[in-house]
């Protein structure tokens, strides 16, 4: 318990303990349950389900994420999906490449059969760009030479048209949101 007091507001901890005790649980029980669920789910999306009336509101969530990323926490696909309140599986996440001026990703061509969401993470400017590509609307993207079932997507960094270097295809028309974090 002493360890938690270093990381958690004392009042919040006391109130949570009271509520948990009323339900026959302890802080230790709930921490173990949550950690096991994270392990089983392979992520934390279950904590932020927007259909859950007790989920964080978007402002609280953005504040939490902003504080974590400013502390050096790496932007991930899971965090980006939460910021955009996306609950879809057909999402590709790509960060600006450190060694080249592009975003690079290799999603399956199969993803193009449904609405496809692409998130580009500009970690230098701390911006996320969200694109929604309607189902069956792209047919000219280039495949990887060694794995023809994968798209060889290389979108130019600092290009306002978000053009794929391989196919010459601009993604600007599919841009639906940009947020700072």
% of the chain with per-residue pLDDT over 70? 81
Q: What is the mean pLDDT of the chain?
A: 84
Q: Is the pLDDT of residue 11 over 80?
A: yes
Q: Is residue 81 part of a domain?
A: yes
pLDDT in tens, 12-70: 888 888 887 776 677 887 887 788 878 877 878 777 664 444 444 555 555 555 555 55
The tokens for 110 are: 């199969």
- What per-residue confidence (pLDDT) applies to 28? 82
Helix (H) or strand (E) holding 70: helix 58-70
**How many Cα atoms occupy the beta-carbon half-sphere of 48 within 13 Å?**
23
Query: How far is 18 from 40, CA to CA, in rounded Å?
Result: 28
**pTM of the full predicted structure?**
0.65
Distances (CA, A) of 136 to 93, 125, 139: 20, 32, 7
Is residue 43 helix, strand or coil? coil
- What per-residue confidence (pLDDT) applies to 42? 80
- What per-residue confidence (pLDDT) applies to 70? 53
Residue of 109, 105, 103 whose CA lies nearest to 148: 109
Of the chain, the end-to-end C-alpha distance in Å amounts to 32
Query: How far is 112 from 16, CA to CA, in rounded Å?
Result: 45
Query: How far is 126 from 66, CA to CA, in rounded Å?
Result: 10
Query: Could you tell me which residue, 60 or 86, shows the higher pLDDT?
Result: 86
Whether residue 93 sits in one domain with residue 37: no
Q: Is residue 98 part of a domain?
A: yes
Whether residue 92 sits in one domain with residue 32: no
Q: Is residue 64 part of a domain?
A: no
Domain that holds residue 123: 75-180
Number of domains making up the chain: 2
Whether residue 79 sits in one domain with residue 31: no
Whether residue 113 sits in one domain with residue 31: no
Whether residue 101 sits in one domain with residue 26: no
Query: Could you tell me which residue, 11 or 71, shows the higher pLDDT?
Result: 11
């Amino acid at each position: 318990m002493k360890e938690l007091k270093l990381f958690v507001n004392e009042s919040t901890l006391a109130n949570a303990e009271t509520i948990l005790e009323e339900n026959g649980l302890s802080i230790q029980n709930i921490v173990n349950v949550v950690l096991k669920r994270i392990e089983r789910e392979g992520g934390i999306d279950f904590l932020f389900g927007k259909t859950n009336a007790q989920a964080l509101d978007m402002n609280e969530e953005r504040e939490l994420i902003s504080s974590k990323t400013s502390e050096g926490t790496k932007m991930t696909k899971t965090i980006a999906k939460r910021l955009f309140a996306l609950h879809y599986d057909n999402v590709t996440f790509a960060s600006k490449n450190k060694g080249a001026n592009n975003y690079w990703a290799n999603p399956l061509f199969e993803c193009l059969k449904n609405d496809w969401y692409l998130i580009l993470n500009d970690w230098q400017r701390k911006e996320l760009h969200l694109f929604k590509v309607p189902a069956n609307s792209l047919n000219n993207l280039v495949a990887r030479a060694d794995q023809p079932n994968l798209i060889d997507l290389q979108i130019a960094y600092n290009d306002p048209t978000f053009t794929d270097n391989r196919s010459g295809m601009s993604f600007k028309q599919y841009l639906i949101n940009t947020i700072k974090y």
